[in-house]
Amino acid sequence: MSSEPSLGARLRGLRVARGVSARSLAATLGISASAVSQIERDVMRPSVVRLLAITDALGVSLSDVFEPPGAVAAPRGGTTGLDQAGIAVTRGWEASPVTLDGGVTFRRLSPNPTRGLDFFESIYPPGATATLGDIELFKHEGYEIGNVVAGELTVELADDEVVLAAGDSISYPCSVPHRIRNAGVRPAVATWLIVHP
């Protein structure tokens, strides 16, 4: 059995560390306090969009989701916990992914949280999408750069749709309404860099 903290426990830890009540977070997200509780108790898994909305609402980086509960998330742009040499190593077996609604998994690729940057891998099973209820396109904070490693991902933008195959890359301001989905028949693996203001 894994001793890794659950996604819900990590999100609750971030919320508590930031001094935000479940009710206040719920109001910001436009959902019920019960829904926040269900996410934090792992009764309900958030979608990619909901996870990004939670991190934006808490003013933390997506990278902070991969830290154990109780680790205090520094505000974006703060200092890192790296030693003076600035060197950090994480072995592949140490990087635990988080699984979201629809089976989408995220895994942090940077060895430590790096203020102002999120560097992660996503795996979208066939048919999976980054959705939030009836909202088709969404936006969040930062500037996003993605590279498809395997499979195929479709990035829907307000006025366009881009199909990315292995080796293809895309970049766009996260303020541009967008949605990511796997319309293919194989899992799609991509790496993402999000630069925060």
pLDDT of residue 81: 46
Domain count across the chain: 1
**CA neighbours closer than 13 Å in the CB half-sphere of residue 176:** 16
CB contact at 8 A, 126 and 184: yes
CB contact at 8 A, 18 and 59: yes
Please report whether residue 2 resides in a domain: no
| 3-state DSSP assignment of residue 189 | strand
Please report whether residue 61 resides in a domain: yes
DSSP assignment letter at 106: E
Please report whether residue 1 resides in a domain: no
Please report whether residue 106 resides in a domain: yes
φ, ψ for residue 61, nearest 5 deg: -85, 155
Structure tokens that stand for 91 in this block: 């072995």
Owning domain of residue 28: 7-195
DSSP assignment letter at 67: S
pLDDT of residue 169: 97
Structure tokens that stand for 124 in this block: 């979208």
Please report whether residue 136 resides in a domain: yes
CB contact at 8 A, 150 and 115: no
Q: 146, 151, 129, 147: which is closest to 138 by C-alpha? A: 129
Cα–Cα dist 177/172, whole Å:
10
pLDDT of residue 18: 92
pLDDT of residue 54: 93
How does pLDDT run along the chain (197 residues), one tens digit per residue? 445 678 898 899 999 999 999 999 999 999 999 999 999 999 999 988 899 889 989 988 888 888 755 444 444 444 444 445 677 777 777 777 888 888 999 998 888 777 788 899 999 999 998 875 556 788 888 899 999 999 999 999 888 999 999 999 999 998 998 989 999 999 999 999 999 87
Structure tokens that stand for 79 in this block: 């200092």
pLDDT of residue 116: 83
| CATH number where 95 lies | 2.60.120.10
